Amino acid sequence: MMQDLVIRGAVVIDGLGNEPVSADVAVKAGRITMVGETGEDSLQTIDANGLTLAPGIVDLHTHYDAQITWDATLSPSPSLGVTSAVMGNCGFGIVPSPPPVRDLILRNLSVVEGMNLDSLRAGVRWKFEEFSDYISALRNIGPYINVAVLAGHSVIRTAVMGEDASLREQATLQELELMGKMVAEAMASGAIGFASSYSLNHSGYNGVPMPSTISGWSEFDFLIKAMGEHSHGIVQLASGPRSIEDLEAISAKHGRAMFLSTGMAMFNEQEPYRAIDIFNACAAANAKGRQVYVQIPCQPLSFDFTMANAYPFYSHDGFDQIKAYNPEQLKTVFREDDFRRRFRASLANPQPGMIFQGNWERVTIAIPTLKKNSPLANQSIEEVARTQNRDPLDVILDLSLEEDLQTTFIGQFLNVGDAGVNELLQHESGVVALSDAGAHLTFMCEAGFGLHFLAKWVRERGNFTLVHGIQRLTSHPADLYGLIDRGRIVPGAYADLMLFDPDQIGVTAAERIQDLPGGGSRTIRQPLGLHGVFVNGAQVFDGEKYLDYATGPGMVLDHFRSSKNMSRVSTEN
């Protein structure tokens, strides 16, 4: 039989935890047909020359919902080994989108996910209104990688309640029923699940809370019930102050697997046992058949920012009303003693889940703009404050004001401390995720999390074998989310593959480019040691550039293996 593609002479790691084998891999009609020696002819043959062939990386936590409407490649993820991505996390998508609330959706998205509002307005192509329309639009776009979409609490609340969604905690019964119908419609149209947020760090335009964060827990419960009797469907939640017991009860009641993301479950040297206690609580819940997992990043939670867009501080008092201020307005506020007093008071009593806990030693002056301040580069705010015998808050604000709010800072606030982070990455209740790809483009680019994982945690530190590391990035997340025939190299599986050199694999330092709609800038990284990425058997990246397709080979995933716990341990109504 003539094959479409044969990759010859690779060291094949199957993604399932089995030992590597030297083999050829044959592909026909997007699926793997053979792993072993094959002499069959093919339309395309690639000589791997002993490079490692593994399944493509599965990224469970992205925010490409808007970008995909103007960029079918979903750059830079395919160039960083990702072949499948889940969008709509934290409930911050762009559908349903009745025309009267579309700009409101974009305004909130621009703040909560650190996106350029002008680029969103210029780039998003509104060829949809309901969830089913969006799925159809994605198929017409033809993405380069496989995508699945979560139904989003905040965007659904906005579609129903408009501006009131961020102002009124209690929805009317009619509004609640309409939201439930939208969740049901999304599930019937192929949503992979439902996503929401109760995070203190999630604020929208002009400092308003993102809609889901002010909703009652009963509303969240109602909307999960609205997912209906579909056997598939996970729940992703930026959990904020909600406890594992809260999530365990929801899982028990509705038989849904819960995947939480929270800064509280990231390693924090100031509270070294907090995160592992959360993971262990999840393990205890899972032992009772109540599925609760933690999405854990394999990198420090880091941001590069200026005080013109000080995202890491947004959950603190003083920033509520000024998040959308322009630089001139911000400069006026930053000079005020009252603002500094309120910020200091908030720093003295940080709340659980806040990104910045007042640890100024984690904030580094990266790029001063004035020559006279160049000696401050690479010093932490704490170091400068100690040298100058000043308050750290005054140091960062006064320096920023002096440099017209253009000073660049780098903050690494959580998931710092390799031994502590490794314990979380190894934990049975964790799943490697939280790249936030497509979001926070001003601050960071963590879309290469998988290549970073292979470089640091596999090659450099040796905490994972290459076999185990690949499994944690491929079949493990795919199976937890019910992705069918993904994340493995076996006959019959989809040919989502990456070809790489394990001695060189990694990512470059971040760089800024200006390629967003309207000329907006973003931060990206480039791969190291990656020689090819294939999606459903078609090569989308050759190690240096994307291949050109009128319609990309990625699939819009709308059928999933059951992720529902049918043997519920609770019969609550």
Assess whether 393 and 521 both reside in one domain: no
Q: CATH number, domain at 51?
A: 2.30.40.10
- Taking residues 523-551, report their average pLDDT: 97
pLDDT of residue 320 exceeding 90: no
- pTM value is 0.91
Instruction: Compute CA distances 311 → 88, 109, 315, 410, 464, whole Å.
Output: 20, 13, 8, 12, 33
- Taking residues 433-445, report their average pLDDT: 88
Whether residue 557 lies inside any domain: the answer is no
pLDDT band at 353 (very low <50, low <70, confident <90, very high): low
Phi then psi for residue 180, to 5 deg, are: -60, -40
Assess whether 203 and 274 both reside in one domain: yes
**How far is Cα 26 from Cα 238, in angstroms, rounded to an integer?**
41
Residues 6 or more apart from 119 whose CB is under 8 A from it?
516, 517, 518, 520
Decide: 443 and 436 in contact? Cβ < 8 Å: no
- Indicate the residue among 359, 386, 412 that finishes a domain: 412
Assess whether 431 and 388 both reside in one domain: no
Whether residue 572 lies inside any domain: the answer is no
**pLDDT tens figures, 473-492:** 999 999 999 999 999 999 99
**pLDDT tens figures, 171-200:** 999 999 999 999 999 999 999 999 999 998
**How far is Cα 183 from Cα 176, in angstroms, rounded to an integer?**
11
- Supply the angle between the helices 173-188 and 153-161 in degrees, to the nearest 10: 130
pLDDT of residue 285 exceeding 80: yes
Whether residue 152 lies inside any domain: the answer is yes
Buried b (16+ CB within 10 A) or exposed e, 411-447: bbbbbbebebbbbbbebebbbbbbbbbbbbbbbbbbb
**pLDDT tens figures, 59-117:** 999 999 999 999 999 999 999 999 999 999 999 999 999 999 999 999 999 989 989 99
Q: What is the dihedral sign for C-alpha 91, 96, 102, 104?
A: negative
- pLDDT over 70 for what percent of the chain? 98
Specify whether the backbone of 548 is left (phi greater than 0), alpha (psi in -120 to 50) or beta. Answer: beta
**How far is Cα 196 from Cα 183, in angstroms, rounded to an integer?**
12
**How far is Cα 276 from Cα 424, in angstroms, rounded to an integer?**
7
Whether residue 271 lies inside any domain: the answer is yes
Assess whether 173 and 215 both reside in one domain: yes
Average pLDDT, the chain: 94
Whether residue 503 lies inside any domain: the answer is no
pLDDT of residue 309 exceeding 60: yes
**How far is Cα 360 from Cα 222, in angstroms, rounded to an integer?**
41
Assess whether 392 and 451 both reside in one domain: no
- Taking residues 336-357, report their average pLDDT: 88
Radius of gyration of the chain (CA): 23
**How far is Cα 225 from Cα 568, in angstroms, rounded to an integer?**
14
Assess whether 102 and 137 both reside in one domain: yes
Instruction: Compute CA distances 231 → 45, 72, 254, 475, 562, whole Å.
Output: 40, 30, 11, 20, 5
Structure confidence at residue 564 (pLDDT): 64
Assess whether 288 and 430 both reside in one domain: yes
Whether residue 72 lies inside any domain: the answer is yes
Residues 6 or more apart from 81 whose CB is under 8 A from it?
56, 57, 448, 450, 451, 498, 500, 527, 530, 533
- Taking residues 336-341, report their average pLDDT: 96
Structure confidence at residue 301 (pLDDT): 81
Specify the DSSP class assigned to residue 459: I
pLDDT of residue 401 exceeding 80: yes
- Indicate the residue among 386, 412, 438 that finishes a domain: 412
**How far is Cα 128 from Cα 515, in angstroms, rounded to an integer?**
24
Assess whether 375 and 457 both reside in one domain: no
3-state SS assignment for residue 27:
strand
pLDDT of residue 568 exceeding 50: no
* Number of domains comprising the chain: 3
Assess whether 72 and 203 both reside in one domain: yes
Q: Indicate the pairing of strand 82-87 with strand 57-59.
A: parallel
Decide: 85 and 411 in contact? Cβ < 8 Å: no
Other C-beta atoms lying within 10 Å of the C-beta of residue 572: 9
277-285, long-range: CB < 8 A, 24+ apart: 278/244, 279/424, 279/427, 279/429, 279/430, 280/429, 281/244, 281/245, 282/244, 282/429, 283/427, 283/428, 283/429, 285/244, 285/247, 285/248, 285/251
Assess whether 221 and 261 both reside in one domain: yes
Structure confidence at residue 233 (pLDDT): 97
Whether residue 199 lies inside any domain: the answer is yes
Other C-beta atoms lying within 10 Å of the C-beta of residue 532: 20
Decide: 150 and 86 in contact? Cβ < 8 Å: yes
Structural domain including 312 reads 303-412
Assess whether 390 and 423 both reside in one domain: no
Structure confidence at residue 566 (pLDDT): 39
Assess whether 89 and 204 both reside in one domain: yes
* Strand (E) or helix (H) holding 220: helix 217-225
Provide the token pair at 447.
């879309």
**How far is Cα 337 from Cα 4, in angstroms, rounded to an integer?**
68
Whether residue 553 lies inside any domain: the answer is no
- Indicate the residue among 397, 412, 427 that finishes a domain: 412
pLDDT band at 531 (very low <50, low <70, confident <90, very high): very high
- Residue type present at position 524: I
